[in-house]
Structures are given as structure tokens and as C-alpha cells.
Chains A and B, each alone.
Chain A
Amino acid sequence: MRNTFNESMRKVGAPLANFWENDLELGLEDMLHKSKTNGYMAEWIGNLNGRRAEILCQSLGLNTGKSLQARRESLGGCNGTLTPYYLVSCFGRNQSHAAIGELAQRQLPQELVQSCLVNDEKFDVTALLFALYHKRPDLLRDVFYLSKIHRKGFARMEMVTQARKPSERSFHDFLLSEDVQSALSNADQTLGDGHTSEFRDVIELNDKILVFIRRAERPEHIVHENRIIHGHHPEWIILDFEAGAKRVNIASNSMVESLEIANRLAGGYFGKDVEYRNEFQVTYARQLERLLERLKANQDEKLTLVELACANTPLNGAPKFKIYNERFIGLGVSHFESAVGGLLDHLNHIESIKVLFAGKRVSVIFAHEEKQAEDEFTVRYSDHRLNVFQRQEFEHYMRQEYGIPILSTEKRFKKQS
């Protein structure tokens, strides 16, 4: 199957199977099987909307009329060259719309991007992916990577070791050098699980350096032609370095491995063992009381209180208690407080709240870290619910409106000995 596929891709000048399967983690076999079913491609072409058909025709150099019907007919005549675009559309199903939109705005002409707008906020992402693929197929790899940063929460870590920045090269230069491999090997050796870390890419974006590492995580098996194939579930470790590697944001499934790799990479750069620890930022009780008062009274323009979970409530027996709704719950909270007793003025008993922001339900917790005084809290939120732009907006808003520095609920810890 692979050979035939590679042959057909060579003919149309498209990337070979390794690009789709390894770089984009796209399961080719099922998709190609489907596409060879009688009438499947014709149906796929028949479902293309005007924008997609137009971009496809432009990309393939088909000079057709302006009607959608004519475009679809001419696309129907070029089955082989359409296969990579079909794969692109399959690839697009699991990618972040925010990532595709952002990359398209940086890489494609403005008129083209504007023509792919569905409404004020949404893009026709499949059309944009066709255009990105046409410009340069490896842009899909960037889409693949950037999608991951929009969908995962990042643990905010800061370096606790005093280390001087090397004068001879920047951290970005270090990441592009051979020294990275030895830093990763050291990390693998320390972890001692027999897996190897694969350095996939480094992207510089908005003064940040994003490092993408793929690593086998936990044993897993699949069925292939009635046989079980054993392997490992792949894990993506994303390290988002800031301030010359003095800070790092970590997104990963694993806890220990990603932190070890970050420590080793930074250690390789600074030339000594360094350590990152979870960041803490102090918010005072008064600030939280003010936030909650405004949320309860629905005085906040951007945030809507939609859930409140409390322990030690004023109900008899002090049971736990959760009020939630798909919309504003402030009236219900006020009613409870006037009828039974206070909820929001007992911060230590609030387990979590949820606020609606940008149409998404975001959990916010008021954590009491060790060594913090009674009226000091660290405020954390479930950042994975928001895309990167929404996270920036949310964090900026909380700081600007309430003076509250807000961090992700994600944390990383070293393995306890």
C-alpha cells in the first residue's frame, strides 16, 4: 500500500507517506481505503463549498467558470491530484481553528484570508488549509504543532537556580545546535524508562521559543490485520521558554518526564544543573472578595458566574454544595445567602468557581499554598479550555480589572523519592 501511495504522490509532486503518517500523525490506511470506495471521492467533491472549490481550482490551475457546478465538474476530472487535498481535509478535522487562522494570517495574502471568512470571527479552515498546503506542504506541520499549544494547559514554571546567561550564544541558537541531543540523552538516561526523546522542532513565536518533543509514554497496543501490535502511546511535550529560558511553560501528559527534559535543556544551555519550580503569585483575600461580589451582582462585563462549589456550607451538617447552571447563577447565590447564610464571604470554603468567558466555562480555584498567610491565595484557572489568544485576554483582563495574577491549574513536580 505504501509503495503505491508513494508512487502516486511522486507523480503529483506531493509529500510521501512518511510526512503524513509520521509528521502529521495521520492514519493513511483507513483514509485511502475510504477514498477508493466507489463514488466516495465524487461525493467528497460534491460536498465542497464554493470557497473550497475555488481555492482547489486555483491551486490545481484549473481554469473553469465561476459557477460552483462547473468547478466541481472540473475537479471531478483530476482524481489523482486531489488525493493530497483530500488528506489535508481529513487532517484539518482535528486541528485547532485558532492555530489555522493565526498561521494563515501570517503566511497567506490578506485578500485570500478575508475570502475565507465565514463570519466576523470564524474562518473556513479547510479552505485555508488547502491554501497553506498549496503554498508549502510543510506548513501543515506548523499547523499540527501550533494546534497543540492551543489545546493544552501549560504549567507555569520559573527557574530557581541562579545562572548567568552565556554571552556566546542565545538559547535559540543552543536549541538549533548538536548540544540539544546530548541534553536529551542525559534526560533519557536519568528517567531510565528506556524511551528516547525525539526533538521534533523549535518555533520562535512572539518572543517565545516553543520546543516540540515526542516521546513514548505508556504501553499500548493496536489491532492490525487481526494481529495485536504492541507499542507505546506517543506523548507530545511542549516547552514554551521565555525570558532567555529563565521561565518555561510546560504542556505534557506526563509529570516527571517533561520537567526533567526542561531542566536538562536549560542546564545544557547555562552549563550547570538548573531547576524549574511551579510559579506562585499572591492574591489577597480582599481582591477575591471584590471579584466575587462583582460576579455575584453580574457587574462584570466579560465574566459570568455559572458555577460555585463550596465545602462547610451553612446548611445543617455543613455538607458540600454546588450551584450551577448554563447561565448566570448570581441570583441563586444571593437567594441562598439571604435565606440560609453566606457563601462567597468564606473564601476558605470555596472549592472552585466557574465563569463563562468567551463562551467557554473556565474553572477558577483559590489555592492556599504552603507558607502563604491566611489571607493570601494563588489563583489558578483551567487554561486548556481557552485557546492561546483567549488565555492572554483572560489573564490580562483579570490583572487589569482586579489586579489578580492568574496562573494555570497545571503544575509539574519531580518524582518523589
Chain B
Amino acid sequence: MASLSFQQKSASRNSPEWFEKLLMDGARYVSTPEVRQAAERLAAQGIISLEEREYVLCANARDTEDFRFVRNRDCRGRIYIEDGFDLFGDDYLCPDCGRRIFPAKKTRYRELHVRILQQGVRSYIESVLTQGGLSWKEMAPWLYRVDVGHDEVWLCVVDFCESSQHMTREWALANRNRTLWLVVHPRGKRERFLQEEWISRVSLGELFDGREDLMALLETQARCEAPSLVGSPSLPIYNRNGRHPSSEIRKSAQPKRLFVVQITDGIVLVNGHSVIPKQAVTGYPIFQILLKHYLQDMIESLPSGTYAPLSTKDICGEIYNLTGKEFNDEDAVRKTINRIQNNIETVIKRETGDPIDRCDVIETLRWKGAGEGDHGYRLNPSSVAIRPFISSNTKT
């Protein structure tokens, strides 16, 4: 299931997604250079108005002089700096806990407050249509009829359109789906539309940052076929005030701590995610060796607690057996295994969110000199399951 809040993992903070996020009326964001840059571009087009305000936090450990006086150290209150108020006087109180605040000695932060300007949105859309050389007419407030070649396409801005007769499934079908639905609110596209694939929707953020092209979308819409087999319930296309009844609410995941290990073509996968890439010259043979010993112990039906760990020296010997090359660098083996353990933990946490400790796949048993008995590495018999790799192309 795709993550909703982070569709693109590790997305840079310079990502064009900021345009989208900023198109929420009333939204407030901490003013970083990236946010500011994106906001100023939108403001320059007249689409949004910006108010930049300074604030201090009631409980902020960075305020080294003030924090000792904070009774509720979890207080999340923000105190906005107002013109004409005395920064050293009694003018400021925390809105959450009521504590007297002296902002002069506190760390200040900047926040951008966004307001959507409907007139700016209108001008932007109309200018894009005009620049594209299309003729258009506003048939109802925020509902445009656009001439694309010999065809007519409708463009509806769903956030502001009041014409409920046009914003229905029946009307869209009666017009052979020649309508492009444009949404301003960043949550609108995902949560507020009727969830049917034939409905063509685009967000203003996508148009603004260039991910989508309005002209191309209108042309595509002009050529599109009327949808078939769509049933006939009467449903609104868009729910301006909240989540559309048909939009998906995610189901809860079940906890588990079982890691399925697969090997294919020089790559090791854990729960379907690559943890040792093809180019890992040392990592892959080490994993193969650990896997081989794990399988041997399994064939011998040993109790899971007695699966033998391999020392770094054993692993060096096995690498020689496997590759025919002399390998005596025990430190390199140890470092490689550490790296693999960290990588497995990071990949599983990041990609699946499942709980995992670094020893859940490759287990480290008692360090040398830290006690009696075995020490070394093995695949963890209590949490690892081995499965052959099955290509998604394989027919069953």
C-alpha cells in the first residue's frame, strides 16, 4: 500500500509538492527558504496572498534562560509577535497554558500564512487558456466551455463551482465525459472526488509546477471515448466540504516479525525489498555463506537455539571455498556484516514500517571475549523464513 503522506520517499524539500501544499486556504507553514520560494512564485501570480508572522514557542528548550520557568514543558503554545506590544512587558500570554511570556529573550520563528485568492486562480486559468490559443466561455461561475479544435471540452474548477447541476455524474456522462475537473485544494484530488477512473482530474499545483499541461489534458479529453459499464447510481462528482463518500480509507496493518529472505541473480531480498544490491562484491557471498549454513542446520533438524554461528575467521575460509580467492581481512567481514544489518533495518523500516531490530535477519551472537561459548553471525532462526524467488512474470 502506498504511503499517503510520503508518496515519494526521501523527497527533497525543494520538491514541487510545495506548490500543492501551499494551495490550502488558511494553511500555515514554517517559513523555510524552500517554502518561501514556492510561496512567492504563487503569490507573484496572484493565486495566493501571504502573511509572514513571527512567533515564539512557550516551551522551547532552546530558550535556555526561559525554559527553567516553564511549568508545562510539553506546552505547544505559539505566541505571535504583534506590532506595538511590549516585548519585555506583560503584553504576551501563552494561549495554551496562560503563562506570561517575554518574547524578547526567546528564539523566534517565522511562519507563512496562506490565503487563496479566487480572483488570482481565475486569472491564472484564463491566462493559460488564452496563451494556449483556445477560445473559451464561462457558462456558469467556474465552469468553462473550451473549444479544442472542432470539439467542446468542459473545464470545471470544483472548489468554487456552485453549479450543482453540472457537478454530477449524470451530467458528466451525458456530455460523453468531455469534462476536465480542476481542483485547487491539495487534499481534493485524493479525498474529495468520486472515486471512478473515468473522471479526469488535475490539481492546480500539478499545472503550476509543470507536472501536467492543461492544453494537453484538454486535447486528450476532447478525444476521449464515453465510458462504458459505469452503472447508474446518482452521485456527486466532488464533495467540496469533505471526504467523498466513495474515497478509500486505509485499512489497518497487522503487526508481524517474520522476514522472508529470497535470493535472485546476485540480489538479496527481505520481505520483497532489495537489501543487498547486485554490486555488493563482499556482501553477497557472505550472505550466501550464512544462508547455506542456515539451510544445513535446518536439514539436520537442529533446534533453533543451536543453529551454529560463524566467526569472522570461518567466514573468511568459506569465502575462499566459494570464490577461490584468498580472503583474510576479518575486519572487512565484520564491517560488511554491520553494514548489511544496518541496511536491512533501514530498508524494512523505511519501506514497510514493520518493526525490526538490526539482529532480526543476521543475528550477532556474543562478542569475542565477552563471555564463554560461541560468538559470530548466523541468520536468525526465530525470525527468518527462506523462500525461493518467484518472478512476477512466472505463470502459475
Contacts and interface: CB of A to CB of B under 8 A. Distances in A.
Interface of A: 153, 155, 217-218, 253-256, 283-290, 293-294, 296-297, 299, 309, 311-312, 314, 316-319, 334, 337-342, 345-348, 351-352, 363, 373-375, 382, 384, 399-404, 409-416
A309 B76 CA distance: 10
Given A293-B252, A297-B252, A341 B243 contact: yes
Interface in B2-31: 3-6, 9-13, 15, 24-29
Contacts, number: 148
Given A374-B12, A403-B355, A294 B249 contact: no
Given A342-B191, A346-B5, A217 B68 contact: yes
Nearest to A291: B353
Nearest to B15: A374
A411 B62 CA distance: 8
A414 B67 CA distance: 13
Nearest to A409: B74
Given A286-B352, A316-B26, A340-B243, A413 B191 contact: no
A249 B32 CA distance: 32
B160 to A, nearest CB: 13
Given A409-B74, A413-B64, 14 more contacts: A255-B67, A285-B5, A285-B353, A286-B352, A290-B255, A290-B354, A338-B243, A340-B242, A345-B5, A352-B76, A374-B15, A403-B349, A411-B61, A416-B62
B120 to A, nearest CB: 18
B74 A382 contact: yes
Contacts of A413: 61-62, 64
Contacts of B355: 287, 399-404
A309 B78 CA distance: 14
Query: When A and B form their complex, which 3 residue pairs have the shortest distance between CB atoms, in order from nearest?
Result: A286-B353, A403-B355, A318-B26
Contacts of B353: 284-290
A293 B351 CA distance: 16
A177 B192 CA distance: 69
Contacts of A347: 5-6
Interface in B344-365: 345, 349-357
A293 B241 CA distance: 24
Classify the secondary structure of B's interface with A.
loop
A283 B355 CA distance: 11
Contacts of A414: 64
Interface in B320-361: 345, 349-357
B253 interface: yes
B356 A403 contact: yes
A408 to B, nearest CB: 10
Contacts of B29: 312
Nearest to A283: B349
13 contacts: A218-B68, A255-B68, A287-B353, A293-B250, A293-B252, A317-B25, A318-B27, A319-B26, A340-B243, A341-B242, A375-B3, A382-B73, A403-B356
Contacts of B352: 286
Interface in B48-101: 61-62, 64-65, 67-68, 73-74, 76
Nearest to A362: B74
A286 B243 contact: no
A341 B191 contact: yes
A174 B227 CA distance: 81
A295 to B, nearest CB: 9
A405 B101 CA distance: 33
A304 to B, nearest CB: 15
A384 B73 CA distance: 10
Interface in B235-282: 241-243, 249-250, 252-253, 255
Contacts of B345: 403
B176 interface: no
Contacts of B255: 290, 294, 401-402
Contact of B24 (A312, A339, A382): A312
Contacts of B9: 285, 374-375
B191 A314 contact: yes
Interface of B: 3-6, 9-13, 15, 24-29, 61-62, 64-65, 67-68, 73-74, 76, 187, 191-192, 241-243, 249-250, 252-253, 255, 345, 349-357
Nearest to B30: A368
A412 B26 contact: no
A384 B70 CA distance: 14
B5 A351 contact: no
B290 to A, nearest CB: 22
Contact of B25 (A316, A373, A384): A316
Contacts of B191: 314, 341-342
A342 B61 contact: no
Contact of A255 (B12, B61, B357): B61
Nearest to A339: B242
Nearest to B70: A253
B11 A374 contact: yes
A384 B72 CA distance: 11
A29 B254 CA distance: 60
A254 B64 CA distance: 8
B24 A375 contact: no
Nearest to B185: A314
Contact of B241 (A316, A317, A352): A316
Contacts of A285: 3, 5-6, 9, 353
A337 B249 contact: yes
Given A317-B26, A373-B10, A341 B187 contact: yes
Nearest to A319: B26
A375 B62 CA distance: 24
B320 to A, nearest CB: 35
B241 A340 contact: yes
A348 B186 CA distance: 14
B56 to A, nearest CB: 14
Contacts of B192: 341
Contacts of A401: 255, 355
Given A316-B26, A402-B355, A412 B242 contact: no
Name the residue in A218, A284, A352, A399 with the highest tally of chain B Cβ atoms < 10 Å from its Cβ.
Answer: A284
Nearest to A286: B353
Given A218-B68, A255-B61, A317-B25, A290 B74 contact: no
A312 B356 CA distance: 32
Nearest to A340: B242
B242 A314 contact: yes
A255 B357 CA distance: 33
A394 to B, nearest CB: 15
A11 to B, nearest CB: 43
Given A293-B252, A296-B252, A309-B76, A318 B24 contact: yes
Contact of B73 (A316, A400, A409): A409
Given A339-B242, A382-B73, A409-B74, A375 B6 contact: yes
A283 B356 CA distance: 12
Nearest to A287: B353
Given A217-B68, A293-B253, A286 B74 contact: no
